[in-house]
Amino acid sequence: MNIGAPRQPGPEPRVGVTPEIAQRYVEDGHTVQVESGAGEAAGLPDEAFREAGCEMVGSAWEADVVVTVGPPGDAEVSRLTPGARLLGLLRPLEEPEAMRRLAESGVTAIAFETLPRTTRAQSMDALSSQATLAGYQMVLEAASRLPRIFPMMVTAAGTIRPATVVVLGCGVAGLQAIATARRLGAVVRGYDVRASAAEQVLSLGASFIEIDVTPQDSSASGGYARPLSDGDGTRLLDGLAPHLAAADVVITAAAIPGRPAPTLISAEAVSGMRPGSVIVDGTAERGGNCVLTVADQVVRAGGVTVVGPTGLEARAAADASSTFARNAYELFSYLYDAEIAGADDEIRTGVTITRGGEVVHPEVLARIDAAQMDAMT
């Protein structure tokens, strides 16, 4: 097949195929078309692609299989060939309408976001690989903004106490943030609604904040969390407040797939925090875990700095591209093999959003229906 790696629209520096991975496609008997300059921002010059056996083209959106990172804009969708496969982080649950349009243009859309979180599927799990990098970057962001340093230091000019970092939402990103902050020497506490998160937080040498709320079956649902009831939500906010007041840095990464990020930090909680402290909200794109978060802006509330950086995973563009490309390769190969074998399984049904001109993913369909109901009433 002909695999295409287009240059991403917007500020996205990542690319869906790296020279290393391109070589594997080629070894598997495919051809790879890379849009000229697609890898530049990730430190991958055209030269490297060419050496790996890729064809450098003016536009790669016309290929049989298009590996994109983020969702394509309208302009890009129009360049896709009907019958082509589009692989990427397509935001199917957030933008079900866009999926309908993809279906209409006859494209088979394959989204990483709806991959089941099984052991077998981990090598294809781009959410995890990118979240890992985001978690690391959140800590760098916080450390750069904090007017203090993270580690404890006993020096001739006095003792600098270690910074206290609170991490809310200990999924992949949160756990990596915990690990990174610990490495830098901070005292770290983590919180998550999932019961199994406690052990995971402890396994990184951090402590866990115990708050007595029982989420609605939150460990289930393919490894993703579920929302809390209203009462529990308030209790959670209240329970977290004293921990936030004692923190120098708060990093949030609590999310529920396909829904706005749960609110974990109220304006009052922020005003109770120490002057100089920093909140890095990793969920700004989904509305933020902190009510004051504004995506990509620095908000100052009292002495507290609240930032909601987006595109965190893209900062380490080289590593982000190489891990993403590897995930895409694994997913593509898996589906390709399954297709040849005529097999249909959990993974394939999970990731396939549109096929044969139709939206086929039940959850996306449900969202489209819900949106239509909303529009009608």
Ligand X SMILES: NC(=O)c1ccc[n+]([C@@H]2O[C@H](COP(=O)([O-])OP(=O)(O)OC[C@H]3O[C@@H](n4cnc5c(N)ncnc54)[C@H](O)[C@@H]3O)[C@@H](O)[C@H]2O)c1
Q: Which residues are catalytic?
A: 117, 122, 125, 128, 224
Instruction: Name the residue among 293, 244, 249 with its Cα closest to residue 272.
Output: 244
DSSP 352: B
Among 10, 144, 373, 374, binds its own copies (CB under 8 A): 144
Token digits of residue 187: 């005292």
Q: Does 203 bind other proteins (CB under 8 A)?
A: yes
Q: Does 180 bind ligand X (CB under 6 A)?
A: no
Which residue's CB atom is positioned nearest to ligand X?
171
> What is the β-pairing status of strands 153-155 and 108-111?
unpaired
Residue-wise over 150-164: b if at least 16 C-beta within 10 A, else e?
A: beeeeeeeeeeebbb
DSSP 295: B
> What is the β-pairing status of strands 354-355 and 358-359?
antiparallel
Residue-wise over 55-81: b if at least 16 C-beta within 10 A, else e?
A: ebbeebbbbebbbbbbbbeeebbeebb
Which 260-279 positions form the footprint of ligand X (CB under 6 A)? 262, 264
Among 289, 327, 352, 354, binds its own copies (CB under 8 A): 327
Choosing among its own copies, ligand NAP, other proteins, none, which partner's interface includes residue 175 (Cβ < 5 to 8 Å by kind)?
Answer: other proteins
Q: Does 316 bind other proteins (CB under 8 A)?
A: no
Over the window 261 to 290, marking each residue x when it contacts its own copies by CB under 8 A and - when it does not, the resulting string is --------------xx--------------
Among 75, 157, 340, 375, binds other proteins (CB under 8 A): 157
Q: Does 138 bind ligand X (CB under 6 A)?
A: no
Token digits of residue 55: 């064809």
Q: Which is nearer to ligand X, 170 or 188 (CB)?
A: 170
Q: Does 148 bind its own copies (CB under 8 A)?
A: yes
Q: Does 341 bind other proteins (CB under 8 A)?
A: no
Q: Which is nearer to other proteins, 200 or 263 (CB)?
A: 200
Among 70, 185, 233, 239, binds other proteins (CB under 8 A): 185
For the bound state, the minimum distance from the C-beta of residue 117 to its own copies, rounded and expressed in Å, comes to 12
Q: Which helix (H) or strand (E) holds 322?
A: helix 317-341
**For the residues of 240-294, what is the DSSP string, one character each?**
HHHHHHT-SEEEE----TTSPPPP-B-HHHHHTSPTT-EEEETTGGGT-SBTT--
Instruction: Name the residue among 257, 255, 253 with its Cα closest to residue 93.
Output: 257
Cα–Cα distance, 211 to 254 (Å, whole number): 15
Residue carrying the six token digits 């692989």: 87
Q: Name the one range near ligand X by CB under 6 A: 45-53, 79-87, 223-231, 273-281.
A: 223-231
Q: Which is nearer to its own copies, 52 or 84 (CB)?
A: 52
Token digits of residue 209: 């904040």
Which residues here bind ligand X, judged by CB under 6 A?
A: 117-119, 121-122, 125, 127-128, 131, 168-174, 191-194, 197, 223-225, 228, 253-257, 262, 264
Which residues here bind its own copies, judged by CB under 8 A?
A: 13, 42-43, 45, 122-123, 125-126, 128-129, 132-133, 136-137, 140-141, 143-144, 146-149, 151, 153, 155-158, 160, 180, 183-185, 275-276, 303, 315-319, 322-324, 326-327, 330
